[in-house]
Chain A
């Protein structure tokens, strides 16, 4: 498995502001993913981020609210824009390290609280 890190680990933000979360993988990967885990809920996929192409968003998530960058094979960012208290969640990035399986490995998560 690879080491996947996220920054920041947690943040408290004011309503209406934006936060950019960084995800770094210590090896080159084609597919990276961003998930949200709302309090007491399961993990919900926000989008898939492949290097060299636009992110693919799941139903209910839009690029204006969650813009994603994937500038190279080891790094991705997720921005949570114009935040409201409903955006308070844990945001997780993951990477698919082996193209022979769909196994994903996760970063430690970013705990976001919006006041």
Chain B
């Protein structure tokens, strides 16, 4: 049972344009969501997160939107740069910290290619 799904295996975008990566989840107990970027031969790098009490979180060029009713989140990258080319994973957890278990469930990943 895939509780976190990224239905687009790949996305190709022109430099300077917006990249929109999408993620859907099925478990209504998830209340904390994250995006990671992964280059080949490296570990995932944390990008941005959002708690379920918010619907938007912004950090520089990266904005994450959360639609709880649709169980959908998206990552917007504006403007896209060739260095953004990587695999992007969304992840979700069932608690927002404290003494929670802290387990992350990952999507399958989306390969983003930004063309110069």
Contact = CB atoms under 8 A, between A and B. Distances in A.
Contact of A102 (B43, B89, B95, B107): B95
Contacts of B105: 45
A98 interface: yes
The secondary-structure label for the interface of chain A is strand
Contact of B108 (A33, A41, A98): A41
A88 to B, nearest CB: 15
A108 B104 contact: no
For the side of the interface on B, what is the size category?
20 to 34
A108 B42 contact: yes
Contacts of B64: none
Interface in A19-43: 31, 33, 41-43
Contacts, number: 67
Interface stretch (B12-20, B44-52, B72-80): B44-52
B32 A101 contact: yes
The secondary-structure label for the interface of chain B is loop
B39 to A, nearest CB: 10
B42 A102 contact: no
Contacts of A17: none
A102 B100 contact: yes
Given A101-B49, A106-B43, A108-B42, A45 B104 contact: yes
A6 B43 CA distance: 10
A54 B98 CA distance: 20
Contacts of A31: 102
A45 B103 contact: yes
Interface of B: 32, 34, 36, 41-46, 49, 89, 93, 95-109
Interface of A: 1, 4, 6, 31, 33, 41-45, 48, 92, 94, 96, 98-109, 111
Q: Please provide the 7 A-B residue pairs with the shortest distance between their CB atoms, ordered closest to farther.
A: A106-B43, A102-B93, A100-B97, A101-B97, A43-B106, A42-B106, A108-B43
